[in-house]
Amino acid sequence: QYKKLYSYTLNAMRFVTAVAEKEKEGGVLVERVSRELWKRKWRTHQDITQPASLTEAGLKAGLSDNVVEEILTLSISQPIRDKLKSVTQEALKHKCFDFPFIVCHVNGKAKVFFGSDRFELMAYFIGNYN
């Protein structure tokens, strides 16, 4: 099942990775593009694998035609493939298993949190770690 989902979402993951590499707005565009892809997949049950689908999601997220085209090209490049592979390996190293799975790094130490009910614990860890 995992391999099927992974292969089905690979182009979308590469597209979002390319947005992250290109973005200079601190994650705003990554969030918008991710949200549009999520809506396509889970709300309207539309494709997220084809360039036309990724283009539509990018445009709805507020990217221009030129930027979407640039990101599509970047998303199939080796550096983006390598980046996605690297962050995937990092997630596996921390035994990531579901969402939201968050790794906080404070003073060179990593602490893993799972679940949307863990934000208070994350705040404590970030604000009070010695």
Contact (CB, 8 A) for 9 and 54: no
| Same domain membership, residue 113 and residue 83 | no
* Residues 77 and 108 grouped into a single domain: no
**pTM of the shown model:** 0.80
Instruction: Answer whether residue 129 shows pLDDT above 60.
Output: no
Range of the domain at 101: 94-130
pLDDT digits (tens, 9 = 90+) for 73-96: 999 999 999 999 999 898 888 888
Do 27 and 70 belong together in one domain? yes
Q: Is 63 left (phi over 0), alpha (psi -120 to 50) or beta?
A: beta
pLDDT digits (tens, 9 = 90+) for 63-74: 999 999 999 999
**Which contiguous run of DSSP H or E holds residue 122?**
helix 119-128
Number of domains within the chain: 2
What pLDDT is attached to residue 110?
Answer: 87
Domain co-membership, 87 together with 112: no
Assess whether 98 and 71 both reside in one domain.
no
Same-domain pairing of 12 and 60: yes
Looking at residue 78, which CATH number applies to its domain?
3.40.30.10
* Whether residue 19 has pLDDT greater than 80: yes
List all residues 6 or more positions away from 47 whose beta carbon is below 8 Å from its beta carbon: 40, 53
Q: Both 56 and 15 in a single domain?
A: yes
50 and 68 housed in the same domain: yes
Over residues 94-99, mean pLDDT:
83
Mark whether 65 and 99 lie in a shared domain: no
Shared domain for 108 and 123, answered yes or no, is yes
Give the list of residues 6+ apart from residue 84 with CB closer than 8 angstroms, or none. Answer: 13, 14, 17
Q: Both 53 and 101 in a single domain? A: no
